[in-house]
């Protein structure tokens, strides 16, 4: 049985569509469809296709090792050296032949280096003798700058925290495991995988955190230091956005 058939059976057994799986693991639907038809070209190569298969298996709670072994057996590349697999996906630089340097060129370069060694100390000595040192502030002045008064501390604490504190989100799997994907304000993925029952992950950003949860009823959220409870029901897929002091469901 091909790996594509196994992937489709695993997805259909949990009642998940290609669109839902695409949202959970952040892989295009067309790529997932190609994988289920044993077409690995749209994945960018065999190495990337293998990585997609691992993520799919974790999202569907399928047998990851079985799927990867079947994939390796189909493509017969499991005994290939890693350097070949990396080269296949342009992950290693192409070696270039080194140009030969003539003896005359080396001699000219050595002469330039000697001249610089002689000139640099002289120039540094001149700069040192003509440049006046920057006066350092007195200890009392430094104390006035670095130590605010008590009234400034009391009045400014809340305002500063509201403007500069990062967004903080803690996800804890209380009653079951869940698939979890998290991106920051720039869209960069900072987490993608399974969160086992009893495990917890914390995330922070200065502007925005996007969270996708595959089993919303199994987790508890703490947002910016406040317990937000479970964001949905068991088996529900939710998309959430959290900013400083506020949250919204996407």
pLDDT at 11 (0 to 100): 93
The better pLDDT of the pair 156, 32 is held by: 32
The better pLDDT of the pair 22, 124 is held by: 22
What is the rounded CA–CA span in Å between residue 10 and residue 41? 22
pLDDT at 34 (0 to 100): 94
**Chain segment 34-55, per-residue pLDDT in tens:** 999 999 989 888 899 999 999 9
3-state secondary structure of 133: coil
Q: How confident is the model at residue 26 (pLDDT cuts 50, 70, 90)?
A: very high
Exposure on the CB side of residue 250, measured as CA atoms within 13 A = 12
In CATH, the number for domain 163-249 is 2.60.40
CA distances from 136 to 13, 132, 144, 145 (A): 72, 12, 14, 14
* Percent above pLDDT 90 for the chain: 34
| Averaged confidence pLDDT in the chain | 74
Q: Measuring CA to CA, which residue among 51, 81, 82 is closest to residue 68?
A: 51
Residues carrying CATH 1.10.260.40, the chain: 3-88
pLDDT at 166 (0 to 100): 85
The better pLDDT of the pair 101, 12 is held by: 12
The answer to whether 28 and 35 have CB atoms below 8 angstroms apart is no
The answer to whether 191 and 3 have CB atoms below 8 angstroms apart is no
In CATH, the number for domain 3-88 is 1.10.260.40
Mean pLDDT, rounded, for 113-141: 50
Q: 115: buried, middle or exposed (CB in 10 Å: 19+, 13-18, 0-12)?
A: exposed
**Chain segment 45-99, per-residue pLDDT in tens:** 889 999 999 999 999 999 999 899 889 888 875 445 555 445 544 444 444 445 4
Rg (CA), the chain: 29
In total, the chain counts a number of residues equal to 250
List alpha helices for the chain, DSSP H: 3-13, 18-25, 29-36, 46-60, 64-75, 82-88, 103-130, 139-146, 150-164
pLDDT at 98 (0 to 100): 52
- Backbone φ and ψ for 167, nearest 5 degrees, come out as -75, 135
The answer to whether 211 and 180 have CB atoms below 8 angstroms apart is yes
**Chain segment 204-226, per-residue pLDDT in tens:** 898 888 999 989 999 999 999 89
CA–CA–CA angle 27, 31, 33 (5° rounding): 115
Q: Measuring CA to CA, which residue among 12, 1, 9, 25 is closest to residue 237?
A: 25
């Amino acid at each position: 049985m091909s790996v594509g058939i196994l992937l489709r059976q695993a997805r259909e057994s949990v009642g998940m569509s290609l669109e839902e799986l695409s949202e959970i693991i952040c892989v295009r639907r067309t790529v997932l469809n190609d994988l289920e038809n044993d077409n690995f070209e749209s994945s960018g190569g065999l190495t990337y296709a293998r990585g997609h298969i691992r993520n799919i298996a974790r999202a569907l709670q399928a047998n990851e090792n079985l799927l990867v072994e079947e994939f390796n057996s189909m493509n017969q590349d499991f005994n290939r050296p890693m350097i070949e697999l990396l080269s296949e996906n342009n992950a290693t630089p192409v070696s270039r032949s080194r140009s030969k340097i003539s003896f005359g060129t080396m001699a000219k370069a050595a002469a330039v280096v000697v001249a610089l060694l002689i000139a640099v100390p002289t120039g540094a000595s001149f700069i040192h003798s003509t440049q006046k040192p920057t006066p350092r502030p007195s200890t009392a002045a430094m104390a006035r700058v670095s130590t605010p008064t008590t009234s400034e501390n009391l009045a400014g604490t809340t305002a500063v925290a509201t403007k500069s504190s990062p967004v903080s989100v803690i996800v804890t799997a209380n009653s079951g495991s869940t698939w979890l994907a998290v991106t920051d304000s720039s869209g960069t993925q900072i987490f993608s995988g399974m969160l086992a029952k009893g495990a917890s992950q914390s995330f922070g950003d200065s502007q925005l955190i996007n969270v996708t949860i595959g089993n919303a009823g199994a987790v508890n959220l703490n947002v910016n230091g406040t317990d937000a409870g479970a964001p949905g029901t068991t088996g529900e897929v939710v998309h959430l956005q959290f900013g400083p002091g506020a949250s919204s469901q996407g």
